[in-house]
A and B are shown apart, each in its own frame.
Chain A
């Protein structure tokens, strides 16, 4: 029994049960969330340590041997994602102490928060395609309710768009999974990786892989499937948006990397070219969309899309260096993006709105906040010595080695536009004089408590550490990428010596 593998799924479930049991005691739910996410984060770190020392860890649910039962399999990439999801869970649990009002807590914010984390962790840990679908649904169901919770008009309208497009993605995912089962007779990822290359004709496999590309592409918000994201992400409270931006689209990107490195390896030329084209278009549309925005959260939402393009670029280049770059980039972007959203929430708390045109002059009263925004913003733009620089350096070098100059120049150009966009936000929110000449809005907002500052500092510091200690982090990414590029390791770990 390898319980440490299933702990990242069971612990949020236990926290959700505690939160449900304490339905009428919001204070208990709040502190249980902080405690629960801390335990979960340490469990994920223990798992990361175990995977790092002794290779891919597996757990056969109900002791049914693979490929007949449900398999959980965590390689280094999965373990890194689990650890980072634990960190985001802790941060958002802290932030929600103050960032989520009592009414939302009374209507079940915390149980849903834990269930969302359970779904995300399940998706990172599973080694079975149908099980992945189920975890996606767990995650989606929780995110649907979290998004609509509060019931303002904008939230409901955003939820409608989010729900309909994500249901469509799930439908495609499920039908592709059914057809894949019809084709191969198995849904265990390791078994699929073993039998799928022998399936004739290859066209069928390719068609199915494209169905998966669309399904995961909607969830990851790549071009041209991203429209639900800017229509919905800015409507719920900032704690929820930060959680979503940190984890949900990344689960889609994770699933994409998983299936395209492990299962669908039959026609790499076609798939990788398509992925690179999509990656470039995703980057460009995301950043251009952001340039036109004046709402703080909408602007950041468009940047989520743009950054997803870099992840897809790493997958499309498909060399070890490129995948390592994508993994490093994934950690970097989760930290930076969540920190930026949390800071947007603090700004809103101080000034009472998200409109860049009406904000301003915050540098005078909050110099530390201005610095705290500048660090992840510069990291996102890719300036040295921050984490984004190393992430983009790895991807660009991999692109040059592969001779894909178009995507390399697109990536560099988009970095420049990201810098422009981030400096626009910084200038509008912190630097320019407050509109009207006086900080009249100062009274509009409330006080910012330590609960909101602590996780922000944690994430900003985490991002800085990722940049300053880039060497070990890059080595880990390379190890994880090595495992991704050698599916036989995964197959061996799951199926053992089975024929």
Chain B
């Protein structure tokens, strides 16, 4: 099981990083998503994968049964999922807005931050009425 998870993590990481290096913004976005899942799996596996033993302390006992799953990593993953959900929602909105403003999703053409982009230089654009 560990080996299987390790391969899954590796595949997700490499896929995510590959997509993040593409020129298309949408692919970059998908890359971020894959990377987020790769990390969740990493944290999950770091908490040790054990079958069938829930971390419930039986009445009269003071600690969970031997070989129980570690609940903390799952709590961490839950937090991470919520955070990445919010960040992804923002990133999707940002990509969409960038596409509609710039008219392209090719990262090589998004150079207004470095050179003045015709027809008007970027830092002289009038403030948009649509913040």
* Chain A residues within CB distance 8 Å of chain B: 101, 103-104, 106-107, 130, 134, 137, 140-141, 144-145, 148-154, 156-161, 163-164, 167-168, 170-171, 174-175, 177-179, 181-183, 231-232, 234-235, 295, 353-355
| B-chain residues with CB within 8 Å of residue A163 when the two chains form the complex | 90-91, 94
Cα–Cα distance between A103 and B124 once the two chains are bound (Å): 18
By secondary structure, the B interface counts as helix
In the complex, chain B residues 44-63 whose Cβ is within 8 Å of any chain A Cβ: 44-48
* Chain B residues within CB distance 8 Å of chain A: 20, 25, 28, 32, 35-36, 38-39, 42-48, 72-73, 76, 79-80, 83, 86-87, 90-91, 94-95, 97-98, 101-102, 107, 110-114, 117, 122-125, 127-131
Cα–Cα distance between A156 and B122 once the two chains are bound (Å): 11
| B-chain residues with CB within 8 Å of residue A145 when the two chains form the complex | 90
Cα–Cα distance between A366 and B127 once the two chains are bound (Å): 26
Cα–Cα distance between A151 and B83 once the two chains are bound (Å): 23
| A-chain residues with CB within 8 Å of residue B43 when the two chains form the complex | 174-175, 177-178, 181
Summed over the interface, the residue pairs from A and B with CB atoms below 8 Å come to a total of 129
Contact A160 B46, beta carbon cutoff 8 Å: no
| B-chain residues with CB within 8 Å of residue A235 when the two chains form the complex | 113, 122
A353-B46 contact given A154-B113, A157-B113, A231-B114, CB 8 Å threshold? no
A107-B39 contact given A134-B79, A159-B94, CB 8 Å threshold? no
Cα–Cα distance between A337 and B124 once the two chains are bound (Å): 24
Cα–Cα distance between A130 and B73 once the two chains are bound (Å): 11
Residue of B32, B73, B112, B124 contacting most chain A CB atoms (<10 Å)? B112
Closest to B45 in A: A182
By secondary structure, the A interface counts as helix
Contact B129 A103, beta carbon cutoff 8 Å: yes
Cα–Cα distance between A222 and B77 once the two chains are bound (Å): 29
Contact B131 A151, beta carbon cutoff 8 Å: yes
Contact A104 B98, beta carbon cutoff 8 Å: no
A171-B36 contact given A164-B28, A178-B43, CB 8 Å threshold? yes
Closest to B130 in A: A151
A150-B113 contact given A141-B86, A171-B36, A181-B47, CB 8 Å threshold? no
| B-chain residues with CB within 8 Å of residue A150 when the two chains form the complex | 127-128, 131
Contact A157 B112, beta carbon cutoff 8 Å: yes
A354-B73 contact given A149-B131, A156-B101, A178-B39, CB 8 Å threshold? no
Partner pick for A157 among B46, B73, B79, B110, CB 8 A cutoff:
B110
28 contacting pairs across A/B (C-beta < 8 A): A104-B131, A107-B131, A134-B79, A137-B87, A144-B90, A151-B97, A151-B130, A153-B122, A153-B125, A154-B125, A156-B98, A157-B98, A157-B111, A157-B113, A163-B91, A163-B94, A164-B28, A164-B32, A168-B20, A170-B87, A174-B39, A174-B80, A178-B46, A178-B47, A178-B73, A179-B42, A181-B76, A353-B124
